[in-house]
Structure 1
Amino acid sequence: MTPSELAFRTAVAAAEQAGVEIRELEEIPDLERVFHLYYDIWHPDPLNAPVSVEMMRAFSHTGNYVTGAYDGDLLVGASVAFRAAPPAERLHSHVTGAVKKGAGFALKLHQRAWALAAGFHQVTWTFDPLLRRNAYFNLAKLGAMPYEYLYDFYGAMPDEVNAGDESDRVLVCWRLYDPHVAEAAAGRPYRPEVPADAEPGLIDEQGRPVVRRTTSQVVLVQLPEDIEAIRRADPGLAKAWRQALREVLAGLMDGESALVKGFARGGYVVERP
């Protein structure tokens, strides 16, 4: 069995467990449903939607990745990705959203299988590094790894999730052939080893970020439990978390060429060179 065939089998199992069917989409009515689903998830500025119906139509028509997760006739998740440089090597996943438990995981596993069948070695995407649940999903559930910190990447995003904050992102790479990625796809989340001498560089102390100086080779960077709730309740505190994460995580990744090795103990495990 080829890697792509095994990946499709794993993806089908994840879809069945979630109670969804993954379908590739190209017809305008289906793409309109995706547009409205994304609106219901993020409530974006109407002039700045995550992706337009016309763009999805263009992506689908030119052999890119546009899929939906269906619970019967109800669309409960969707993913849009496009081919990126270097040619024939990387797929970039622009947006994935779901409203049913397990649908997002099923979509990503289908995306992995589709990418392998198309000859890609890796899939990349961005996410807000302050979102703990997304960090766990991307690094542990999927086995992707951050490799670049991007400051205010999308500019102002006046939607219900991001409003009032700067749009910092980390760019992650999902190396599709890595053994730990296949293990994660099979339902065994990736958990990096944390040595006994690892030290915290950022901790959550009664809801507030506290930066600590450390010289240890492995640094733990803790995240707030729910930054979206903090944004709504205390925008000033949310900004303090953003600045603290920039100081510690971006400082390690950019300033010291440190590598994020995974997610554990409520945050990132980062190893200095």
Structure 2
Amino acid sequence: MSGPDEPDLRELHAIGEFEEVCRLFGGIWRPDPGGAPVTVEMLRALSHAGNYVAGAYLHDRLVGASVGFVAAPPRRALHSHITGTLTGRGVGFAMKLHQRKWALDRGLETITWTYDPLVRRNAHFNLAKLGARPEEYLPAFYGSMGDAINAGDESDRVLAVWCLTSPPVLAAVRREPSPVEIPPDAVTGLDDDGGRPVRGRTDAETVLVAVPGDIETLRVTDPAAARAWRLALREVLGGLLRDGARVTGFHDRSCYVVRRGARDERRGGEGREL
């Protein structure tokens, strides 16, 4: 039972609930007409087919929602397509814990989702707070997106993989801090110089890849700089992942830590790779 200031998490099944979700997402993403991220009809179909459609309520007000569907390989993975929240109070973390329990109850081993690797707060949340790890860089994954958050930028994403019983995820669920070790011979592959990206070296075992402080504001105030960051991150982080390097964490809320030939830390628990 949730406390008075804790979100009440539950699966959604009714048309009225799906309408609430669409209004919530519309207020967050403010899409162009006809560009809503999901529709009532789609939510109805996903829920009826046994997929994940859930909401978070505070004082009977919907403050978060998440939508996912069972993905390949069969009976092993859930893909979390979209999650949005209105407020802090740990709503996002609570939603991921609810989603994790839902998946484990159905015998699933991993949850995947995509996120914009330029958004610092999302990278910190996904890697540092949840213990997920980026596995693949996906240039222009969604094509052109007409909403207030993404408009004017290409929709590059990384695929985050959350191995539900791996050591990093179990530690995250227990809310145990997991500091990222930076070896003294680490090099900077991408740095922030006064709001502009500066490429560096990527030939060491450990490479630090910075992202800007606030890419969403930068898209409005300096679109050229925002595009420069997009292309630089695509080249540096995308290139490292394509060459087999692994992201091992997000350091100081500012940069990815990437290691060549890193041991897959997701192994060692019961979780397996996709």
Which TM-score applies when normalising by structure 2?
Answer: 0.92
Match of 2:268 in 1: none
2:148 maps to 1:160: yes
Match of 1:96 in 2: 83
Structure 1 residue 19, shift from structure 2 partner: 1.9
Structure 1 residue 64, shift from structure 2 partner: 0.6
Output one character per residue of 1:174-195: Cα deviation in whole Å (capped at 9) or x when no partner: 0001121011112224333221
2:30 maps to 1:50: no
Task: Measure, in 2, the Cα distance between the counterparts of 1:56 and 1:191.
Answer: 38
Output one character per residue of 1:46-78: Cα deviation in whole Å (capped at 9) or x when no partner: 312111111111111111100000001100000
- Judged with a 3 Å threshold, the aligned counterparts in structure 2 of structure 1 residues 198 and 89 are, in CA distance, closer, same or farther, namely same
Match of 2:270 in 1: none
Task: Measure, in 2, the Cα distance between the counterparts of 1:16 and 1:264.
Answer: 33
- Judged with a 3 Å threshold, the aligned counterparts in structure 2 of structure 1 residues 160 and 139 are, in CA distance, closer, same or farther, namely same
Which of 163, 181, 184 pairs up with 2:169?
181
Greater helix content: 1
- Judged with a 3 Å threshold, the aligned counterparts in structure 2 of structure 1 residues 264 and 57 are, in CA distance, closer, same or farther, namely same
Structure 1 residue 209, shift from structure 2 partner: 0.5
Structure 1 residue 34, shift from structure 2 partner: 0.2
Task: Measure, in 1, the Cα distance between the counterparts of 2:130 and 2:234.
Answer: 24
Task: Measure, in 2, the Cα distance between the counterparts of 1:231 and 1:159.
Answer: 13
Match of 2:231 in 1: 243
Which of 76, 91, 100 pairs up with 1:112?
100
Task: Measure, in 2, the Cα distance between the counterparts of 1:17 and 1:272.
Answer: 47
2:234 maps to 1:261: no
Query: Do 2:187 and 2:201's aligned partners in 1 also have CA atoms closer than 8 Å?
Result: no
Q: Secondary structure at the match of 2:99?
A: helix
Task: Measure, in 2, the Cα distance between the counterparts of 1:228 and 1:252.
Answer: 24
Give the aligned residue type for 2:141.
F
Query: Do 1:31 and 1:53's aligned partners in 2 also have CA atoms closer than 8 Å?
Result: yes
Match of 2:23 in 1: 36
Match of 1:126 in 2: 114
Query: Do 1:18 and 1:106's aligned partners in 2 also have CA atoms closer than 8 Å?
Result: no
Query: Do 1:24 and 1:65's aligned partners in 2 also have CA atoms closer than 8 Å?
Result: yes
Structure 2 unaligned residues grouped into runs of 5+: 262-274
Task: Measure, in 2, the Cα distance between the counterparts of 1:202 and 1:223.
Answer: 8
